[in-house]
Chains A and B, each alone.
Chain A
Amino acid sequence: MKGICRKLRNPFTVFVCKKVLFLFVAIFISMTFTFIFPRLMPSSPVDIMLGKIAGGEASAIGQTTQQPSGIEGSRLEVLRRIYTEKFGINQPLIVQYIDFWKRFFTMDFGLSYWRYPTEVSQLIMEALPWTLALIIPVVPVGFFVGNWIGSRAAYHRGKVDKALYFVLMFLSQAPYYWFALIFMLVFGVKLKLFPLFGAYNIDKWIYPVPTLECFLDVAWHYCLPFLSLVGLGIGGTGVGMRAMTLYEMESDYIQYSKQLGFRKSKLRKYSVRNAILPNFTWLPVVLSSLVGQTLLVEIIFGYPGLGNLAYQAVFNMDYPLIEATFILTVAIVLVGNFICDVLYGILDPRIGSSYVGSK
């Protein structure tokens, strides 16, 4: 007992506990969001599904076919009742809400309405690796390249700095989705260097197989989406890094070391270690906007990741699929955020203790 007490008083443990608490509050708020908004939609998902069964096209919101082309109206009514009951949409909202949390804790989202009767978890499992393959490399690559360019810009003041600053600002501001379109036009249509659509050649493979040829094809399809995402990360961190390095290079300890005759590389090493810290606090924000961007870029390129899945789910009013994709995107953001926070606490010991001190 005494050991536990002592452990609880350890500033770092308290810091991590607070962060975990924050994680749960964030999850609660965002989950409630996910629950409420799809249910405000004007028409019921059963309508869309029955429209499909009846042979009509029902892709856009609210456009359910009224005239079934094979099943009579009365049987359609029966089907409607069965499905409404099965999906539990006729229950009062509070019961649905409790069910929703039950689904969340058991991580069992049931069957998709849109691709009935495929399990939601299966759809997700097919899509998740593609999205993670885009997001996970972009964050460190953007972070390191951005920091490298940013600090370079700050060391060489003058023309190089101005040019680099302009480029970085441009990258951090430019609409990435527009970049994606431009890349498609230049590299895909005009130069015909890269494919425009999908993650692999669908005509050749139904699903990716572990052969070299297929791997190369996947990598080839990967280039353009990756390029359109990475620019923003580089720009964002680069701008911050440049400002912080300039600030650090002016500071007293660097000036003093300079007077003592330290080598330039040594000075740079010192300044970078301090300048890189604020960028770490920005990583969660970068990550959260990156997830949104990845969704859009996936939709533009027809990349079979979570973005496309969410797109289809929203347009087909597939509640379980909307819930699952949204929970996953939020989970990626929040867990990434949590990791960044704890990493920051380790990197900068002052943070951990100041969190406790503020209480």
Chain B
Amino acid sequence: MELLTKNRRFQLCLGAVLSIVAVGVIGPYMTLNPNKKTGSRYEPPSSEHILGTDILGRDVLAQLVSGIRNSLMVGFFAGIIGLLIGFAVGGFSAYIGGLTDETVNTITNVFLVLPVIPILIVLSASLKERSLYTVAGFIGLITWAGSARSLRSQVLSLKERNFVNLARISGKSTTSIIFKEIFPNMLSYVFISFCGMFGGAIMAEAGISLIGVGPTTIATLGSMLHWSIMNQAIYIGIWWWFVPPGIVLISFTGALLAMGSVIDDVLNPKLRGVV
């Protein structure tokens, strides 16, 4: 842990992630109402509207900030759901082993290769109204396979260790071994796979919102892109409407991923200097 907090790159990434989260949490209280007309249409960036206004005269900065919050919420819930499924599926089956493990592993592999975006489009288009949570649920339901696979391999290696054997000999139940012996020892991996799913879910949400099947009528980073495409912002050259959401997307997911790899790097001395 000390190694981690002293690592320069970790500090940098954590700083970036936390500051974006802070903008998402505090920001909506400090900006204008994102749904209200506050200026004339397509005002370029100025001191009054830092990121200009959109076609309806709404403040783009306010949209961006509430978009960050909503996207983070989708990513967070999708990450949690995916992690729960992934751990339940990958972790338990790996510990139980045998035919269960074999079957579950096959299903995991199937989900791993299925194309996420087309399934998500079909899924969300089947509902007329979609809230943040339904979209998050869909994303979690589909993207759990990656975390299931990495957690499974961790459990597989941990379950052969002596302390697990000891617990088994002393008569502890399977659930208590998994939660009290194995789980605490792989927290860092759980965290890394959560980071990956968090970032992936935000990207997936932006992808489906882009074509208009994300959360309905709510500003997210993806739906900002969607609105700007629908209103031909690119043809007119209204760059301040669709460039900022992309920059936020890149920096947030990039920082999350880098943070995961730094944690992996520090806690896995074998890999040090490679990644």
How far is B249's CA from A175's CA once the two chains are assembled, in angstroms?
7
Set of chain B residues within 8 Å of A62, measured between Cβ atoms: 128
* Cα-based distance from A120 to B257 in the complex (angstroms): 42
Residues on the A chain within 8 Å of B207, using CB: 175, 177, 292, 296
Q: How far, in Å, is B54 (CB) from chain A's closest CB?
A: 15
Q: Are B122 and A326 in contact (CB under 8 A)?
A: yes
CA distance A185 to B236 in the complex (A): 9
Instruction: Encode contact with B along A98-123: 1 for CB under 8 Å, 0 otherwise.
Output: 00000000000000000000000000
**Contact assessment for B253 and A173 in the assembled complex, using a CB-CB cutoff below 8 Å:** yes
Contact, CB under 8 Å: A189 / B235 = yes
Cα distance, A174 to B109, chains bound together (Å): 25
Which partner residue on chain B sits nearest A245 by CB separation?
A: B274
State in angstroms the CA–CA spacing of A322 and B213 once bound together. 15
CB of B42 within 8 Å of the partner chain? no
Q: B250 on the interface (CB 8 Å rule)?
A: yes
Q: Are B114 and A26 in contact (CB under 8 A)?
A: yes
Using Cβ atoms and an 8 Å threshold, which residues of chain B touch A284? 113
Instruction: Judge if A324 is at the interface, Cβ distance under 8 Å.
Output: no
- Say yes or no: A329-B234 contact (C-beta < 8 A), given A22-B106, A61-B128: no
Task: Mark B210-233 against chain A: 1 for CB-CB distance below 8 A, else 0.
Answer: 110100000000000100110000
Could you say which residues of chain A place their CB within 8 Å of the CB of B119?
Answer: 30, 33
**Once the chains are docked, how many angstroms separate the CA of A289 from the CA of B143?**
12
Among A44-52, A78-86, A260-268, A310-318, the stretch in contact with B: A310-318
Question: B121 contacts which of A26, A246, A247, A314 (Cβ < 8 Å)?
Answer: A314
A288 close to chain B: CB less than 8 A:
yes
Q: CA–CA, A40 to B229, complex, Å? A: 29
Contact B234 A170 (CB under 8 A): no
**A94 contacts the other chain (CB 8 A):** no
Most buried by A among B107, B125, B237: B125
* A34 on the B face (CB < 8 A): yes
- Measured in the bound complex, the distance between the Cα atoms of B123 and A40 in whole Å is 9
Chain B positions within 8 Å of A334 at CB level: 113
Known A296-B210, A311-B211, A334-B113; contact A40-B237, beta-carbon cutoff 8 A: no
In the complex, A42 Cα to B114 Cα: how many Å?
25
Smallest beta-carbon distance B17→chain A, Å: 14
On chain B, the residues within 8 Å of A177 by CB distance are 206-207, 210, 225
Could you tell me the distance in whole angstroms from the C-beta of B67 to the nearest C-beta in chain A? 13
Q: Do A185 and B117 contact each other (CB < 8 Å), given the known contacts A22-B109, A175-B246, A300-B229?
A: no
Which residues of chain B from 93 to 108 have a CB within 8 Å of any chain A CB? 106-107
B106: A residues at CB distance < 8 A: 22, 25
Q: Which of B121, B125, B203 contacts A41 (CB 8 A)?
A: B125
Contact status B211-A296, CB under 8 Å = yes
Q: Determine how close the nearest CB of chain B comes to the CB of A354; give it in whole angstroms.
A: 15
Interface assignment of A54: CB less than 8 Å from any CB of chain B: no
User: Which of the listed residues A30, A250, A285 has the most CB atoms from chain B within 10 Å of its own CB?
Assistant: A30
- In the complex with contacts A29-B107, A181-B234, A300-B229, A175-B116 CB distance below 8 A: no
Find the A residue at minimum CB distance from B255: A173
B239 within 8 A of A: yes
Q: Which of B135-152 contact A (CB under 8 A)?
A: none
Q: How far is the CB of B32 from chain A (nearest CB, A)?
A: 25
Known contacts: A189-B237, A296-B210. The answer to whether A175 contacts B118 by CB under 8 A is no
Q: Is B112 close to A, CB under 8 A? A: yes
Q: Are B107 and A292 in contact (CB under 8 A)?
A: no
Is the C-beta of A291 less than 8 angstroms from some C-beta in chain B? yes
In the complex, what's the smallest C-beta–C-beta distance from A187 to chain B, in angstroms? Answer: 11
Least CB distance, A21 to chain B, in whole angstroms:
9
CA distance A292 to B143 in the complex (A): 13
Interface check A182, CB cutoff 8 A: yes
CB distance from A273 to the nearest CB of B (A): 18
Q: How far is the CA of A33 from the CA of B119 in the complex (A)?
A: 8
In the assembled complex, the CB of B77 is this many whole angstroms from the nearest CB of chain A, namely 20
Give A330 to B258 CA distance when docked, in angstroms: 31
With CB as the reference atom, state the residue of chain B lying closest to A183: B234
Say yes or no: is B26 at the interface (Cβ < 8 Å to chain A).
no
> Known contacts A34-B122, A61-B125, A175-B246: does B114 contact A330 (CB below 8 Å)?
yes
Complex: how many Å from CA A33 to CA B121?
A: 12
- Assembly CA distance A30 to B111 (angstroms): 9
Residues of B near A229 (CB, < 8 A) are none
In this assembly, does B173 line the interface, its C-beta being within 8 Å of a C-beta of chain A? no
Known: A37-B122, A189-B237. A178 touches B242 (CB 8 A): yes
* Pairs A-B, 9 closest by C-beta atoms: A292-B117, A178-B246, A314-B125, A26-B110, A291-B115, A41-B126, A173-B254, A292-B115, A40-B126
Additional A-B contact list (8), CB under 8 Å, known A26-B114, A41-B125, A175-B207: A175-B203, A177-B225, A181-B228, A189-B234, A196-B234, A310-B121, A330-B114, A337-B113
16 contacts between A and B (CB under 8 A): A38-B126, A41-B125, A173-B253, A173-B254, A175-B246, A175-B250, A178-B249, A189-B235, A288-B114, A289-B117, A292-B115, A314-B125, A315-B125, A326-B122, A330-B114, A330-B115
